[in-house]
Amino acid sequence: MQDIKIKSVRFDESEVQSLVAENLRDLSERYGGTGDDTPITADDFAAPNGDFLVAVADGELIASAGWRRHGDDAELKRMFTTQTARGRGVARRMLAAIEDSARDAGCRRMILETGDRQPEAIALYESAGYVRVDNFGYYKDHPDVLSYGKSLLPDFAG
């Protein structure tokens, strides 16, 4: 596998927004509509209340993941791996990096929403120790939404 660098970036950078647009197209193909209407701003991912990471290989952005503070929790947003980078462990590396970022900022748990038409995402989260939690957030009342959580600190069982 080629060298992959994971780095923190501004969410509103044009190259990052191109990757986010690819993510939304993927979601739109799975669910219809615009893919995800959750209100998000660049400030959501600004320290100390968030971070946005990308994976870069051969000068190209191949994956993204961000978190934003949700009380004592970090909410995972815009987790995405490009089609050409899938199946090579990039998503697992991104998930570990975004968990580290949130943990370093003092968050106790990572929470996320995903959908029932994303079996590869569900498999990744469950294999990484995420368990179902009560639905929350923008899509909490949608029937195809699945919410997950994982403790980021060893002394927290939530």
- Domains in the chain, please, with CATH? 5-151 (3.40.630.30)
pLDDT in tens, 34-67: 667 788 999 999 999 999 999 999 999 999 999 9
Count of CB atoms situated within 10 Å of the CB of 84: 10
On the CB side of 151, CA atoms within 13 Å amount to 6
Phi, psi for 24 (deg, rounded to 5)? -65, -35
Does 154 sit behind a cis peptide bond, omega within 30 degrees of 0 on the bond before it? no
The predicted pLDDT at position 126 comes to: 98
pTM: 0.91
